[in-house]
Homo-oligomer: A and B are copies of this chain.
Amino acid sequence: MTPAFLGIDAGGTSTHAVLVLGDGTCVAHARRSGGNPTSRGRTDALNAIVEAAQDALGRASVTLGEPVAVNECVLAMAGEPDKIDTPVLARAVGLTAGSVHLASDVEAMYFSSACEPEGSVVVAGTGSVAARLSSGVLTQAAGGAGWLLGDGGSGFWIGRNVVRAVVAQLSGLGPATGMTPSVLEAFGVPGDAGAPARQKLEALVRSAYAQPPVHLARFAPIAFALADHDDAARHLLERAGEHLAVLVERFPGDGPLVLGGSVVTRGFLPRPGLSGALAAALHGRDVRTAENGGAGAAFLALTRSGPGLSVARRAAHRAGHRAAHARITSTLTDRPLP
């Protein structure tokens, strides 16, 4: 049996499992639906995590021609990791002696694109958060107070304001916005030009309150899609960019700045003109991007094994870690998901 190291990033939208050998070579990875128990429920989240892990193990066996033995497993997630039954995961991946180590989602996101012991990370997906790493460990975090109290500039923040702009238009309390037809369609409200605005408004409001509030995050892409043509969408993204700029500037220290989450990687970065505040905050920083924390979780699994577990001895292994990190990120992209 080939010894291997397993990293799992259990996000709200999708779960990524990455399996690497002792030198960092990626031998398999796999994706499943969201694995966060807070948004998905305990059972569905655990199922997604276990399936992603077992899928990766199965693929690795085929690639290597023999089964792999998981030496270490790191599960990265936000929120309430104690809601995941980690012994079930340990048994499912054949971990007898060892156990599953937990990591934060932002730490895994950082190590997906950086291995420097000093650096910062800003993630804007459904929520938004910034963190700082020193001596290879997460020492400070800001934001992440959730949809009701924080998460400025996040997918929820943008999506809620998209829907609020449409509600304001239909109420006669705000200007017309080109986002209205897309929002009505997404809520299943007929956009019939002849129907009274009040009727559309009532159907939209009823439908929106019937869902959990965080589901409003799915309307964020509408703002990005229309930003070049619609004042309300552009203004909203400028304000979101100001919130994200505050997160970027929260930890201005040395080292790389890793940006993760769909709002940044698929929203703002492909359209840098959208927010002057965010562009200004990123100016002069060593910016890298990460799609998810799978590779970072695998890196943490690898470097926490054996002597790597000790922070004090980590410096001596840094050169080896850098090589392993480069190998993870280069070989991971060699293995596209089917």
With A and B bound together, what is the CA distance between A247 and B171 in angstroms?
A: 10
Task: Please tell me if the beta carbons of A171 and B148 are within 8 angstroms of each other in the complex.
Answer: no
**Residues of the B chain whose Cβ atoms lie less than 8 Å from the Cβ of A246:** 173-174
Report which of B150, B213, B216 forms a contact with A168, defined as CB distance below 8 A.
Answer: B150
Binds B, one of A16-24, A138-146, A327-335: A138-146
List residues of A (30-63) whose CB comes within 8 Å of B's CBs.
none
Residue of B nearest to A130 (CB): B173
Which of A160, A171, A174, A208: most chain B CB closer than 10 A?
A171
With A and B bound together, what is the CA distance between A174 and B245 in angstroms?
A: 12
Report if A164-B150 is in contact (Cβ < 8 Å); known contacts: A173-B247, A250-B172.
Answer: yes
Closest CB in chain B relative to A329 CB, distance in Å: 30
Q: Is A205 in contact with chain B by the CB < 8 A criterion?
A: yes
With A and B bound together, what is the CA distance between A142 and B201 in angstroms?
A: 10
Copies in the complex: 2
Closest CB in chain B relative to A212 CB, distance in Å: 11
Q: Is A167 in contact with chain B by the CB < 8 A criterion?
A: yes
Residue of B nearest to A247 (CB): B173
With A and B bound together, what is the CA distance between A216 and B201 in angstroms?
A: 25
Report if A173-B209 is in contact (Cβ < 8 Å); known contacts: A150-B164, A168-B150.
Answer: no
**Residues of the B chain whose Cβ atoms lie less than 8 Å from the Cβ of A205:** 145-146, 149
What string of 1s and 0s marks CB contacts (under 8 Å) between A119-151 and chain B? Answer: 000000000000000000000001101101110
**Residues of the B chain whose Cβ atoms lie less than 8 Å from the Cβ of A142:** 171-173
Which of A149, A205, A246: most chain B CB closer than 10 A?
A149
Closest CB in chain B relative to A167 CB, distance in Å: 5
List residues of A (187-210) whose CB comes within 8 Å of B's CBs.
201, 205, 208-209
Q: Is A300 in contact with chain B by the CB < 8 A criterion?
A: no
Closest CB in chain B relative to A222 CB, distance in Å: 15
What string of 1s and 0s marks CB contacts (under 8 Å) between A220-235 and chain B? Answer: 0000000000000000
With A and B bound together, what is the CA distance between A143 and B174 in angstroms?
A: 11
**Residues of the B chain whose Cβ atoms lie less than 8 Å from the Cβ of A208:** 148-149
Report which of B146, B152, B160, B209 forms a contact with A146, defined as CB distance below 8 A.
Answer: B209
Q: Is A236 in contact with chain B by the CB < 8 A criterion?
A: no
Closest CB in chain B relative to A152 CB, distance in Å: 8
Residue of B nearest to A204 (CB): B149
Q: Is A114 in contact with chain B by the CB < 8 A criterion?
A: no
Q: List 9 A-B contacts (CB under 8 A).
A: A148-B208, A148-B209, A149-B167, A149-B209, A150-B173, A152-B168, A152-B173, A171-B250, A174-B246
Q: List the 8 shortest-distance A-B pairs measured between CB atoms, nearest first.
A: A142-B171, A149-B167, A145-B167, A142-B172, A173-B246, A145-B205, A150-B167, A142-B173
Beyond A148-B160, A149-B160, 12 additional contacts (C-beta under 8 Å) are: A143-B171, A143-B173, A145-B201, A146-B209, A149-B164, A150-B167, A150-B168, A150-B173, A173-B247, A173-B250, A174-B246, A213-B213
